[in-house]
Amino acid sequence: MDKLRELGIKLTPQRIAILQYLDGNTEHPSADRIHKALSKKYPTLSTATVYNTLEVLTRRGYLRELTMDPQKKRFDPNTKHHNHLMCVACKKIVDVHSDIQVQIPPEEQGGFEIHGHHIEFYGCCPKCNSNK
């Protein structure tokens, strides 16, 4: 909570609940999933509050927005460098922590100064694979 105060984020009970839900969460939840999980305990929590909170947290570097699922944005509270693997059937996303080296040949960099990269892998998880 101290880090969030440092970021200048007003700590309402709803925002604290969102932060607690995200803390250590490795499921890469969407805003809708977060809203559904918290709305029973916080019936006045609006979807707009969840979206706005996630947007503020992403802008301030507390969250990482994932766009690999074209149907909805997902959020990752782990902002350290890592990559992702998504099941194309059930849309489950898992972290890939292996250090994967990618080099773009200088002639293809188009003058860009490269600051980093993120790799997305797609496949079928064991559960969906066994259901085939």
Predicted confidence (pLDDT) per residue in 76-90, tens digit? 999 999 999 999 999
pLDDT of residue 34: 98
pLDDT of residue 116: 85
What backbone phi and psi angles, to 5 degrees, belong to 122? Answer: -130, 140
Which residue, 117, 116, 63, 73, is CA-closest to 93?
73
Separation CA 75–CA 67 (nearest Å): 9
pLDDT of residue 87: 96
pLDDT of residue 26: 94
Q: Which CATH class is domain 83-130?
A: alpha beta
Separation CA 23–CA 51 (nearest Å): 17
Tens digits of residue pLDDT in 19-76 = 999 999 999 999 999 999 999 999 999 999 999 999 999 998 889 999 998 889 999 9
Architecture per CATH, domain 2-76, reads as Orthogonal Bundle (1.10)
Structural domain boundaries of the chain? Answer: 2-76, 83-130
Structure tokens at 132: 């085939």
